[in-house]
Structure 1
């Protein structure tokens, strides 16, 4: 599956969501509502009464709908996605990406073969002085670790950054196996052990932005339908009566809901920006390639990653296929969500 095919699937999904919103707008019965209603009927007899009352009170407090036609189910989805996004964000920060150390370097060397084009055997990391396993890279990016803060609030940090001191341990300074990139947003390297959490984090953020956009569009459509603008007319500058077309409706929405319209534009922009980034990483996952390898394969290789004189005769050897580490679609996905573990010898 190439990138253009993946992009075509992405466009088809976006258009499908738009069609579903237009089709079920103003209808109380939708496939999602029917499914959830059946699920509630199944689990209601075995759910304690106090838990049902607490759930109803919580839902009423969080999702008081006023005069909106949006269902409770639709309003619940962003909160669920927000919880999932927060969990994956925490895992991206806390999970070790796959650090290569003196203890595990011998077992890490056998995880992946050397392609003899981007990764050569016998190369020693000039910083940590360890033999570099295939697909690994040394990260020197500085992370943001705050040791001392005179004013404890975030606004104070933004106002006066000179009052913060950063630690020297804030530098990653480590070799990471199956290194993808260093993400400043999660303040951690993305490697073999946490790529799955990074992908799930990207998907949850995209889904949340897309769902908020769809909810906002649905609310605006209901506002237009209730106001009767589609059947309205106006007098133009020549004194002629004209039907209210799409341009008139959009102008009316801008004047009536200016903040909501600008917020919608920003969220849609963020959605397409993140979706494009997630689509690129999805393509790399499907072909079992990291962004570091993608960057190097385009001619931007690191001058530290050249082989030693003992392996210099391997420099001209090219891989037999374009995606050297690809093992098929399912196996590539399995390697992300069930990463390879280094072989450990048992001591007797």
Structure 2
């Protein structure tokens, strides 16, 4: 099976420099190099110039005093061997209290780029920029939400160049979490099943998805979630591809699930999970991707949902 369309956040083999994370001398030397860079994040938004991720010198005044960079996370090294960090910026005077996901904003002390929400830029990022953005957002979100030890409640400290938090009180070590999520293209013959979550706009439909539960295989999670969400029993389940999804920190495991039997069952949506569910023919899906369907619009460019649907439409998953 050949899958030609890339998935955003799929990565391009970026050097994450894991061997340096416990080497304080090597880290200090890397940070002191003139080419050391840092990606600024603000409220989870990335600094973008069009579809290009913008980095600044690690010593840029916007990051504040040197102590502020102690909270920076080492992402890795660029092809020239220069270090790249990620650092969260605080609000600045005049920053709005609230913003919609489609708004972006310039920083008064940064000459190039605007802070923008990643979801709206998925399809335009290069593989390298997408991998860096996914790492930066997921790691900084995790640090912001896990400043206290889960074992004893004491304040924890960043360690291992930002890839761990240590508790000085009880000695506990905590690592960034990634939540496995199954996302499945459910088909029966020449039709696929699409659903809409209750909070989504009327025209926003996608393939089904759900979290893997403790003690459960990914394949079992596919069958359980489809049965729970729409009352449909699937038989064969095959893995297709995966996608890191830093909203906030999931790993989407993409599957193709086929309905058992020759009959196409009527979906029975669980209203707490699914507001509406429809079988969509391959011909209608072609019209959806062409923008010719008034009731359903395709998923975001760069998302694994779109990847699964597009490749099924092209006959690459059959």
Relative to the length of structure 1, the TM-score reads: 0.21
Name the structure, 1 or 2, with higher relative contact order (CA <8 Å, separation 6+): 1
Specify which structure has the higher proportion of helix. 1
Specify which structure has the higher proportion of strand. 2
Relative to the length of structure 2, the TM-score reads: 0.23
Question: Is the radius of gyration larger for structure 1 or structure 2?
Answer: 1
